[in-house]
Structure 1
Amino acid sequence: MPVRELQERVTSAEFVEYMALYQIDGRGPHYDDLRAGTIASTIANVHRNEKVRREPFDALDFIPWNDLRREAAKAQEPILLDDPDAQAELLFSTMFPTRNG
């Protein structure tokens, strides 16, 4: 719907009401991410090699900025190596597992 048409249909009072409802409701982009994660996990599970990954994917696997994943990541101790080159290689191999070299 074009903005002009929306302006003709919705009064400013209705718009403020929608804004208030949005703030009270508490839903928003996180729910959009969850819906997208659900679709992504469904597709991933259809194509999942059960010999390589026995556990199915869930929606949160595709939402790395999700609070639950962030808390789990905080609980893990970082791996710190004395050798800077080895540390860099560890980072690259973690971020890019198919990287040659």
Structure 2
Amino acid sequence: MPVRELLARTSSRELTEWMAYEKVTGPLDSRLRTDISAGIVAATVANSQGSKRKLQPSDFIPKWFKRRKSPEEIWQDVLKANAALGGSVNTPDE
């Protein structure tokens, strides 16, 4: 879907929620997770070549995030992304 169509059909709130979800879980499109398959192959090849220690696929998979964020930190990221996209936040008082 072209970006223009995506923005016309998706609210700022929904897009922000998907962005936050992807930040936690990694890429939504499974085709982009070829890093897992490549990690398995790389570990197999490295281990078959007499590596000094037994390597795991995770040794070859990029770390999507340096550390896990707290729910509060994720919420702050969501608010920033929402504001950047021109969204607003509705509070229960409104």
Does TM, normalized by the shorter one, top 0.5? Answer: no
TM-score, normalised relative to structure 2: 0.38
User: Which structure has more RCO (C-alpha within 8 Å, separation ≥ 6)?
Assistant: 2
When Rg is computed on C-alpha atoms for both structures, the one with the higher figure is 1
